[in-house]
Amino acid sequence: MKPKLALYWAASCGGCEIAVVDVEEHILTIADFFDIVLWPVAMDFKYKDVEAMPDGEITLCLFNGSIRNSENEHMAKLLRAKSKVLVAFGSCAQEGCIPGLANLFTKQQIWDYVYKQSPSTVNESGIFPQPINKMPEGTIEIPTMWDTVKPLNQVVDVDYYVPGCPPQSDQILNVVVAVIDILKNGQPLPPKGTILGAGDKTCCDECGRERKEKKIKKFVRPHEIIPNPKECLMDQGIVCCGPATRSGCGAKCTAVNVPCRGCYGPPPDCLDPGAKMISALSSVIDASEPEEIDSILATLTDPVGTFYRFNLAASILGRGQMEVRKQS
Amino acid sequence: MSWEPKIAGFLCNWCSYTGADLAGTSRLHYPPNIRVIRMMCTGRMDPVFVFKAFQAGADGVIVSGCHPGDCHYQEGNFKMLRRAHLIKRVLADLGIHPDRFRLTWVSASEGDRWARFSADFTQTIRTLGPLKLTSDSILEGTYNAA
């Protein structure tokens, strides 16, 4: 009997699924070795098929997407129970990713904006989604949205992590081939909590640009200048999250003049990537007078959204606090 | 029991820690709310310590180093100064009052200055009240009533 494989998406964009399909013809090797039992994006299985399985029936579950509503949470708990090995696959499941930025607001603030205030919304009667709707034909239920977006490991026990937004296809293939190898030869699994399909240095280690430890008088956004392709982007005033990001992606972004956005998550021993970025940026600012420091920092746009773009939900504070309310 | 501010203080070895020591040996009276941690230089102050302190229950964080130009390592305190400005901005964006974090300069001979700053910062935190980190339970109760 073939080992069973499940792929699931919770609160995510679908990019991780595309990255899986991007392994090209090797998908046939995967389908050949595994019996795929759940893959909502590509195949027709129902939740009740999974619910009917005995616990531990699924050998490997690649779970992408963060947890932000009752359906996500139900599926996370269900797949945890049914899977021998549960992998938080991609940045959303690993650390909350872009959906995690919703943690700067409350659910009510988000709903007020989306269903009332946004310029393209017309909602005169003030209708908001209701989790339970009673109709003459019966009752309809939709998932309830939570206030806080959570990475998978804040909801269930996670065995391994594959970082990236999305994980690079060559890395996915490495991971799957390694798993197949382990299963075929009965080798021991790597220690629990291992980060698979990534390096153990920072993105800067893979980046081909040269750092000259320059100091800057002004931050610029990527569209404002044409960067020198050989020099460190930070030296040129562009905020690059490379110093606070794990290697493994091959530094594809910086190779084409785009700063690292931090999607491979924090490097080893980094507790909070945002704090790491505060350190990194502070060391390039060319000023030692408070007023000048402030005027240089004034050219920096949205520090929280930039430093914590992929990991606010997994950061030390985990979400925006409500002492000083951020305006939506 | 009434609430007392809990404050984490990060003091540099060469100036501020010695200054705080002088405040003690001079028998100056000032509030005992600051828990002092000695570090070799404020240049060692990783911003992660600030977030970690707030997460661990601190209501305020104060960092104190040598006066500009007096750093034992020449420019460690300037590194901290640049960080402090960015830390305040990030804290405010994350919804924590930026006044809960402060950077000061106290030299080894300024015991009275440390005593004054301690009292002043403790008063600031007392006015701001306890830092209540938003937990899910507070939010879910308020907004998720179906």
pTM of the predicted protein model: 0.91
The CATH number of residue B66's host domain is 3.40.50
Give the CA angle between residues A250, A256, A257 to the nearest 5°.
115
Q: Is residue B26 part of a domain?
A: yes
Mean of per-residue pLDDT scores for chain B? 92
Taking a C-beta distance cutoff of 8 angstroms, is the pair A128, A115 a contact?
yes
Angle at A285 between CA A269 and CA B43, to 5 degrees: 50
What is the distance between the alpha carbons of residues A164 and A12, in angstroms, rounded to a whole number? 13
Contact yes or no for B105/B114 (Cβ under 8 A): no
Is residue A105 in some structural domain? no
Q: Concatenate the DSSP letters of all residues of A196-243 into one string.
A: -SS-SSBHHHH--PBP----BS--B-TTTS---SSB-TGGGTB---GG
Indicate if A178 and A259 belong to the same structural domain. no
The full DSSP string for B79-97 is: HHHHHHHHHHHHHHHTTS-
Does B76 map to a domain? yes
The conformation of residue A184, written as its DSSP 8-state character, comes to H
Give chain A's domain count. 2
Q: Is residue A31 part of a domain?
A: yes
A303–B90 CB contact, under 8 Å = yes
Is residue A222 domain-resident?
Answer: yes
Output the six-digit token pair for B43: 């240049």
CB atoms within 10 A of CB B118: 25
Instruction: Establish if B2 belongs to a structural domain.
Output: no
Q: Before A166, cis peptide (omega within 30)?
A: yes
For chain B, what is the domain count?
Answer: 1
Name the minimum distance, in Å, from the CA of A118 to any CA of chain B: 20
Q: Do A275 and B92 touch (CB under 8 A)?
A: no
A47, A165: one domain: yes
A86 and A222: one domain? no
Answer yes or no: do A163 and A231 share one domain.
Answer: no
Q: Is residue A180 part of a domain?
A: yes
**Parent domain of A32:** 4-98+147-185
Residue type, A8: Y
Among A134, A159, A185, the domain boundary falls at: A185
In a domain, A301, yes or no: yes
In a domain, B125, yes or no: yes
Sheet holding A160-162, edge to edge: A35-38, A4-9, A58-64, A83-89, A160-162
If phi > 0 it is left, if psi is from -120 to 50 it is alpha, else beta; for residue A24 that is left
Alpha carbon dihedral A283, A289, A295, A301, in 10-degree steps, equals 30
pLDDT grade, residue B138 (50/70/90)? low
Q: Tell me the CA distances in angstroms from A225 to A217, A234, A257, A276, one per residue in order.
A: 15, 13, 10, 25
Of A132, A146, A320, the CB nearest to B146: A132
Q: Which residues of B touch A322 (CB under 8 A)?
A: 95, 134
Q: What is the C-alpha separation between A172 and B118, in angstroms, rounded?
A: 54
Task: Tell me the chain A residues in contact with residue B131 when contact means C-beta distances shorter than 8 Å.
Answer: 323
Same domain, A171 and A286: no
User: Could you tell me if residue B1 is inside a domain?
Assistant: no
- Shortest distance, CA B28 to any CA of chain A (angstroms): 31
Do A60 and A178 reside in the same domain of the chain?
yes
The continuous run of DSSP H or E covering A58 comes out as strand A58-64
Residue in this structure with the two tokens 């992998």, named with its chain if needed: A87
Q: Has residue A132 been placed in a domain? A: no
What is the ipTM, given to two decimal places?
A: 0.91
Nearest to A147 among B68, B86, B140 (CB): B140
Query: Which among A297, A303, A326 has the least Cβ separation from residue B95?
Result: A326
Residue B31 maps to a domain: yes
Query: B136 pLDDT exceeds 70?
Result: no
> Could you tell me if residue A279 is inside a domain?
yes
> Which of A157, A185, A213 is the C-terminal boundary of a domain?
A185
Which strand (E) or helix (H) includes residue A312?
A: none
| Tens digit of pLDDT at every position of chain A (328 positions) | 899 999 999 999 999 999 999 998 999 999 999 999 999 999 999 999 999 999 999 999 999 999 999 999 999 999 999 999 999 999 999 999 999 999 999 888 999 999 999 999 999 998 898 889 999 999 999 999 998 999 999 999 999 999 999 999 999 999 999 999 999 998 889 999 999 999 999 999 999 999 988 899 999 999 999 999 999 999 999 999 999 999 999 999 999 999 999 999 999 989 999 999 999 999 999 999 999 999 999 999 999 999 999 999 999 998 888 888 654 3
Q: Count other Cβ atoms within 10 Å, centred on residue A144.
A: 17
Among A106, A132, A304, beta carbon nearest to B90: A304
A323: CB partners within 8 A, 6+ apart: B95, B96, B97, B131, B132
Residues shown for chain A = 328
pLDDT at A187: 87
| A303/A208 same-domain check | yes
Q: How far apart are CA A307 and CA A319, in angstroms?
A: 13
Do A151 and A273 share a structural domain?
A: no
Mean pLDDT computed over B92-104: 95
Q: Does the beta-carbon distance from B134 to A107 stay under 8 Å?
A: no
| A158 and A69 assigned to the same domain | yes
Whether B115 is covered by a domain: the verdict is yes
Residues of B in contact with A326 (CB under 8 A): 93, 95
Which residue range is the domain that position B122 belongs to?
7-143
Q: Specify burial of residue A181 (Cβ count, 10 A radius: 0-12, 13-18, 19+).
A: exposed
- A158 and A248 both lie in a single domain: no
Q: A45: domain CATH number? A: 3.40.50.700
Residue A83's DSSP bridge partners are: A58
- Domain assignment present for residue A237? The answer is yes
Split at pLDDT 50, 70, 90, the class of B140 is low
Q: Are residues A151 and A237 in the same domain?
A: no
Query: Is A283 in the same domain as A161?
Result: no
Classified as helix, coil or strand, A15 is helix
B60 pairs with which residues across the strands? Answer: B7
DSSP state string for A65-93: SBEEEHHHHHHHHHHHHHEEEEEEESHHH
